[in-house]
Amino acid sequence: MISFFRKIRQKLLKANSITRYLAYALGEILLVVIGILIALQVNNWNESRKEDAAQIKLLTNFMVDLTADSVLLKDYESDLSTVTKTHKELYLARKGVISAPEIENPQLIRGSIRYHSITLSNHPNIGTQVMDDEIRNEILDYYQFLARVENSYLQYDNVVKETVRPYLAKNLTLNPDFLFDNEKEDQSPLDLDQFFKVIIQDDFGQVLFEANLKAEEMMEFFEELESRNNALRSLIKTKVR
């Protein structure tokens, strides 16, 4: 092809046709420019395809973890619901509405949960990686709410570990045989006789109040987080096909 154009140029020069030579030269330059533009366009198209593929992969992985978190949230809510049910029964026992032995799981007064966001752990910087403006803004908003959930969880967990458990230990309600005597399968981590005496005390009412307050707050956060999780996944599904 280059040899072909060279022959044309030489022929025009020998013919002393400057006008035709200049027109030809401009045409050749134009062809070169067009070729460069086409090459750039093809390159940009390839790069765009690579970016689109990378975004799809990023959001697909993100969706997998969002889905995993949604499953865990149901477990967290179920566990916390059992805890708040125990709080309610303890309150009713204090009021004499039910007898202390009717409390189904009294040991849950000292139990916490292990909250963890897989999405946040695996994608801490996704807010700066997503190119779609709408998805990026929704993710940033979701992560801001996750921070509030984490703060609420830390408060709840702190009440259990720093208030409830020390109080129960101080009032001798824990049962050491639960850890060391494996012969009795129905052993309780609480010394129930002592525990049932303690729960009617005024200071236990204060402990119960604080524990239930934080547990109920945590439950509200989990329910809201589940709703936001579903909404975010629905949005991503409409964008990634």
- Please give the average per-residue pLDDT across 170-198, as a whole number: 85
190 near 173, Cβ under 8 Å?
A: yes
Convert the pLDDT of each residue in 11-27 to its tens digit. 545 555 566 545 555 66
207 near 167, Cβ under 8 Å?
A: yes
- Please give the average per-residue pLDDT across 165-170, as a whole number: 96
Convert the pLDDT of each residue in 53-66 to its tens digit. 899 999 999 999 99
Residue 4 scores a pLDDT above 90 = no
CA distance 139 to 130: 9
Ordered by start, the domain boundaries in the chain are 51-239
Q: Could you tell me which of 70, 104, 29 has the C-alpha nearest to residue 229?
A: 70
Convert the pLDDT of each residue in 33-92 to its tens digit. 676 666 667 666 665 677 888 999 999 999 999 999 999 999 999 999 999 999 999 999
106 near 190, Cβ under 8 Å?
A: yes
- State the average pLDDT for the chain: 87
Burial of 151 by CB count in 10 Å (0-12 exposed, 13-18 middle, 19+ buried)?
exposed
The single-letter code of the amino acid at 136 is R
β-strand partners of 208: none
What pLDDT, on a 0 to 100 scale, did the predictor assign at position 46?
63
Q: What is the model's pTM?
A: 0.79
Burial of 49 by CB count in 10 Å (0-12 exposed, 13-18 middle, 19+ buried)?
exposed
- Please give the average per-residue pLDDT across 121-138, as a whole number: 94
